[in-house]
Structure 1
Amino acid sequence: MPVLPSWRTDPLWDQFAALLPERPTVHPSHPLGCHRRRISDRIVFDKLLQLLRFGCSYQAIADTTCSATTMRNRRDEWIRLGVFARLQQIALESYDRIVGLVLDQIAVDGSITKAPGGGEVAGRSPVDRGKHGLKRSGMADGYGIPLGRVLAGANRHDSPLLALTLDLLDGLGPLPEDITVHLDAGYDSDRTRAELAARDLHCRIAHKGEKAPIQASQRWHVERTHAWQNAFRRLARCYERRATVVNASFDLADTIITVRSLIRRAWTTHRWDDRPMRRP
């Protein structure tokens, strides 16, 4: 059984392959031209999807078609080329063109997950007995489409990460004149309000000490986005130690989330040749 249905992986791979440079099957500089052929990029791509979805180790999914070393080397090559970040950007642009991002309502919140291996963006988790943990300050639009994230140690507070997270709005192109940012009580401070006022952003912040259902504002969209991301077990329990690799994993997961939402929402309004027979 495939890790993802074909209606989701096929468009992902088509765009991913278009971003890859041409590579010969056999290196032309080899004197005999008979050494081992280059593993297909599609095989490695499928292996990385399995790794992301199931959260297993590289050795666990390595087989005769692809070794763990090849997966790591090809992953690092694609990170250096910026393929994962570019893929997420293209997915966002496509979603905005076809469906439309709800950028007048933005939600920001932090989420702590486990990071047993430590690493560059890990810290002592205050909710896991001081074990290594990873915090992501995520931002989502009014529907829950992930717009980006800032990674930090689990011991970092949400509020200081807000400015870095809002800086990600600069890469989204033209923005609405009035933008409302929805935040939870962890951001209830004069510093947060001053930061938002300096950016000409409106805010709806839950007050400390006052109980209110999450449905009282649009903050629940980013909570749902965190749940979507945690469904990828490699993100819910991160063993990667380098920040570039962790960000690449999030870029790939966010791309899958965006493409899935795009296909589901466009199913009732658009027609294309390989459109699923039923709404996904």
Structure 2
Amino acid sequence: MASQTASGRLLSDRLWELLEPLIPPPPPAKNGRTGRPRVDDRAALEGILFVAEHGIAWKKLPVELGYGSGITCWRRLRTWQQAGVWEKLHHSVLDQLGQDGALDWSRACLDSVSVRAKRGNELTRPNPTDRGKLGTKYHLLVTADGLPLTVAITGANRHDSMLVEPILDGLAPVKGRGRGRPRRRPVKLHADKAYDNKRVRRYLRKRGIIARIARIGVDSSERLGRHRWVVERTIAWLLAFRRLATRYDRSADTITAVATLAITVICARRLPRRNY
């Protein structure tokens, strides 16, 4: 059976089975005192997903839904982020998809989107496309069929081309079918004119990746969209998590955790047993 969240989505048993062994053990009780019963980890995860999907404040998570308090869910989110749980979970899902032959490495698409940051603080900068108001930018790399391989977060004024190297260099090897070597780079990279510079093209040649980057003053927007629509669709999926569509979380740990969990859920919807 799968667990039903109040948002109407399903938290698949398979995703939970991948997450459960990654969760660090709870801290020992102080002086032998147990205090209040600890909120179940799966219930806390559902509470985290509820907040991420609906975009409500952590403190406004309804206790009657059975997920524990919003603050408990927020603390669990941050604790697991600091333990590297969300990144490991995303990689586990990618490994499962790779072994099932569900990852298309023939090309990848890279793009970004900026959102308003209401409270400022970490990973926010003035957005030059939004009258200098504080914003955050999500940089998303997806496979040929739109599955997110990674997400990077910067201030809204960070130039897109500066993220090509750290994103591609940071990809962990993903298992594939059979006994072949794990994959960690696409055959081609599609990107828009924001990535058109000699440094990026030189780096891609060095990595053995074919550049399919729109040339400034040469390539039309119509030609550009032939393959890049997949990353735009995935960005729409990402921003469907309303906690990401407008940023309220102040810390880098929290916003990174929510974004990583969001791309993991997007990938998990393609697992063979589609419980999403």
TM-score in terms of structure 2 length: 0.85
- Per the TM alignment, residue 53 of structure 1 is displaced from its structure 2 partner at its CA by 0.2
- Per the TM alignment, residue 19 of structure 1 is displaced from its structure 2 partner at its CA by 2.1
Matched, 1:49 2:49: yes
- Aligned-partner Cα distance in 1 for 2:125–2:249: 13
- Per the TM alignment, residue 61 of structure 1 is displaced from its structure 2 partner at its CA by 0.7
Letter in 1 for 2:264: T
Matched, 1:135 2:137: yes
**Any conservation in 2 of the 1:122–1:153 contact (CA below 8 Å)?**
yes
Matched, 1:5 2:12: no
Letter in 2 for 1:89: H
Shift of the 178–129 alpha-carbon distance from structure 1 to 2, 3 Å rule, reads closer
Other structure's SS at 1:137 match: strand
- Aligned-partner Cα distance in 2 for 1:246–1:171: 24
- Per the TM alignment, residue 177 of structure 1 is displaced from its structure 2 partner at its CA by 8.5
Question: Which of residues 239, 251, 259 is equivalent to 2:260?
Answer: 251
> For each residue in 1:23-66, what CA deviation from the matched residue of structure 2 results, as whole angstroms up to 9, or x when unmatched?
49x938435x5x32212222211110111101110111142652
Matched, 1:201 2:205: no
Question: Where does residue 186 of structure 1 map in the other structure?
Answer: 194
- Aligned-partner Cα distance in 2 for 1:99–1:166: 21
Question: Does 187-196 or 139-148 show the bigger shift?
Answer: 187-196
Question: Where does residue 63 of structure 1 map in the other structure?
Answer: 63
Question: Where does residue 160 of structure 2 map in the other structure?
Answer: 158
Question: Which of residues 82, 85, 104 is equivalent to 2:84?
Answer: 82
**Any conservation in 1 of the 2:168–2:185 contact (CA below 8 Å)?**
no
Shift of the 115–145 alpha-carbon distance from structure 1 to 2, 3 Å rule, reads same
- Per the TM alignment, residue 121 of structure 1 is displaced from its structure 2 partner at its CA by 0.8
Other structure's SS at 2:270 match: helix
- Aligned-partner Cα distance in 2 for 1:60–1:187: 41
How large is the Cα RMSD of the aligned pairs? 2.5
Question: Where does residue 27 of structure 1 map in the other structure?
Answer: 29
**Any conservation in 1 of the 2:86–2:260 contact (CA below 8 Å)?**
yes
> For each residue in 1:166-191, what CA deviation from the matched residue of structure 2 results, as whole angstroms up to 9, or x when unmatched?
11335436338971110111112222
- Per the TM alignment, residue 214 of structure 1 is displaced from its structure 2 partner at its CA by 5.7
- Per the TM alignment, residue 4 of structure 1 is displaced from its structure 2 partner at its CA by 4.4
Question: Where does residue 237 of structure 1 map in the other structure?
Answer: 246
> For each residue in 1:182-211, what CA deviation from the matched residue of structure 2 results, as whole angstroms up to 9, or x when unmatched?
011111222221121122211111122342
Matched, 1:211 2:220: yes
**Any conservation in 2 of the 1:104–1:176 contact (CA below 8 Å)?**
no
Shift of the 180–19 alpha-carbon distance from structure 1 to 2, 3 Å rule, reads same
- Aligned-partner Cα distance in 2 for 1:211–1:178: 24
Shift of the 157–124 alpha-carbon distance from structure 1 to 2, 3 Å rule, reads same
- Aligned-partner Cα distance in 2 for 1:238–1:46: 20
- Per the TM alignment, residue 164 of structure 1 is displaced from its structure 2 partner at its CA by 1.2
- Aligned-partner Cα distance in 1 for 2:186–2:87: 28
Unaligned runs of 5+ in 2: 176-181
- Aligned-partner Cα distance in 1 for 2:244–2:171: 23
Question: Where does residue 271 of structure 1 map in the other structure?
Answer: none
Question: Which of residues 142, 147, 150 is equivalent to 1:148?
Answer: 150
- Per the TM alignment, residue 100 of structure 1 is displaced from its structure 2 partner at its CA by 2.9
**Any conservation in 2 of the 1:180–1:202 contact (CA below 8 Å)?**
yes
Shift of the 217–204 alpha-carbon distance from structure 1 to 2, 3 Å rule, reads farther
Identity over the aligned pairs, expressed in percent?
32
Other structure's SS at 2:63 match: coil
Letter in 2 for 1:182: H
**Any conservation in 2 of the 1:137–1:162 contact (CA below 8 Å)?**
no
- Aligned-partner Cα distance in 2 for 1:147–1:4: 26
Deviating 4+ runs (over 4 angstroms): none
Unaligned runs of 5+ in 1: 268-274
TM-score in terms of structure 1 length: 0.84
Question: Which of residues 164, 170, 183 is equivalent to 1:175?
Answer: 183
- Aligned-partner Cα distance in 2 for 1:87–1:9: 14
